[in-house]
Structure 1
């Protein structure tokens, strides 16, 4: 074997060490941790305004009044009858029940246990959730049987000009 083939084709110092040797320790463990903590701090500070907006919105939900939405005409709802409607948004199912000539109650109709639909059973005078046999009191929306532990969110209604309107959602407060 010739000596020519065993020879390293470039200077050994360049082969065993980084070309930018003076810069190779710029980001050691301590520097990496400082960068990581700094990035986390920047993220936390940048998300504060959004958290404040969300908190302000959540605190005002119980008092938030939505544009009044017509549910039904008075002459189309008999005593003991119920009407399904959407409120406050198009994906929020709700239920209006006429209890007497002048008394109406309305609730969000998603069960507070696992969001199954709640139905009005006129013959029994009960609001039931068929998923897990939950029952709610029609006067208050409070659970009376089954796994639900929280009442249904109440929808405040207003009777005006021969019709029933949804006005606002009263949130459950623990």
Structure 2
């Protein structure tokens, strides 16, 4: 019996598939064109999300959240405060009753280094104990210490004998 030592291809086993006529060639120039095209497609596809993020970060959108009951009016005496969470369960906030029908609410984090702030009724100010920051209770503007930006205000609505949190007012700057 004679052994057939011939390969079924004209080339040897290592090179029979290298030079196919229908195979796409990808040289450096083709690779760079493909890479630039893919980067362009990615950039264009991410534009809408970037625009939405920029709008939110720049404070152009005051998003209204589902109205959340903070407290009943009868449960908070004039001059007192109530802590609550808004807009999310981990977002601490502070409601202060200034008059018969006058309420203000702010996010409960100093705009300097995010320390919690406290309402001091005797002084009529919102205080940050970390670096002795003080904020005007009527506007949320800083009056002393290192904070330079006002506290983000939470818009409240009095309705049916209760106070509701409606939205967070964003500040530019």
**TM-score, normalization: structure 2?**
0.77
TM-fit CA distance, 1:136 = 1.0
Aligned counterparts, 1:24-39, within 5 A = 26-39=25-38
Partner in structure 2 of residue 83 of structure 1: 82
Partner in structure 2 of residue 142 of structure 1: 141
Aligned partners of 1:145 and 1:36: how far apart in 2? 54
TM-fit CA distance, 1:61 = 2.6
SS at match of 1:107: strand
RMSD: 2.9
Aligned partners of 1:132 and 1:35: how far apart in 2? 54
Segments of 5+ residues of structure 1 without an aligned counterpart are: 1-13
Partner in structure 2 of residue 106 of structure 1: 105
Segments of 5+ residues of structure 2 without an aligned counterpart are: 1-11
Partner in structure 2 of residue 163 of structure 1: 162
Aligned partners of 1:148 and 1:36: how far apart in 2? 46
SS at match of 2:94: strand
Aligned partners of 1:171 and 1:41: how far apart in 2? 33
| Greater fraction of residues in helix | 1
- 2:18 aligned residue (17, 20, 23): 20
The farther-off stretch of 146-155 and 31-40 is: 31-40
Post-superposition Cα deviations, 1:9-67, rounded to whole Å, max 9, x if no partner, equal xxxxx9xx9x83789xx4444333223212211211221232344456566532x3222
Partner in structure 2 of residue 68 of structure 1: 67
**TM-score, normalization: structure 1?**
0.77
Partner in structure 2 of residue 10 of structure 1: none
